[in-house]
Structure 1
Amino acid sequence: MSELLDFKLRNEKQLKNFRKHIEQELLKIDGALEHVKDEMLSALIKDIESEKQSISIKMKEKWNVFDSGTFIQLGANSITAMNAVQSGTNLSVAGAALTIVNTALSTMKKVRNNKKEILSGPIAYAFLVNKKWSNT
């Protein structure tokens, strides 16, 4: 039970967005003509499944932040680090190492931002639930 509570607390924002979205959609369905309610409900379920698949694909692609500029920067920083190691001065080695660390941290920040953006939609909670409990 505590695992479920921890999950809900960790994903509280997504849960609120999901609940709000579902309530709005259900209110639309409730206000619709009787003969289209089943069709609207089926469409909602289909849209949720489609969005979960889309989120899943985007989560796999969140690492696509390595562009040619990143590789060039890493290469240049690596060359600087190699030269620093060969020169043997501690200050130049530390400086070169910091540039590599800075590039790595910048890239990780891009990945985190991608993940945050992907998980900001109203169906993100459904994706997170599916991911958490379909593997357990």
Structure 2
Amino acid sequence: MSIETNMTKLEERNHSTGFRSGLIVPFIGTSGVCMSAFDVNENGVPQYPKGHAGRLLVTLAAIDRLERPTASSVAVLTGLSKGKIDVYVQALNTEFGTMITKEGPEYRVESWGEILKRNGVKKALTVPLNGTRIHPLEE
């Protein structure tokens, strides 16, 4: 299947689901160059598939960026399920060594830990993990 055919199919799917144009990006797989598609929500945030580490990174980036990061506001910005935000925060704390606390409904990043770099994680809101820029969020 050609890249043009993939783009047409992706654009048709995005039109029917309400997502903005998706992005098909090349990456090096075990069998050579492959194509990967990420939809982006109305905020330009990549929509990673279930189980993808990108979901954790956009959660952390959103908590860092939002003035009042609640499960609802993080979900609205990222397009993730509000009910999964606590699960993602727990995974970040356990697997990546961050220290994200919750006071009332609001999250706060107390420590980034030793593994993740703040500037790199912040890019997760607009740049898929393969490094192709999608669309800048308005500051």
TM-score range (shorter-chain normalised) is under 0.3
Looking at secondary structure, tell me which structure has more strand per residue: 2
Larger Cα-atom Rg: 1
**TM-score for the superposition, normalised by structure 2:** 0.24
Give the TM-score of the pair, scaled to structure 1.
0.25
Q: Which has the higher helix share?
A: 1
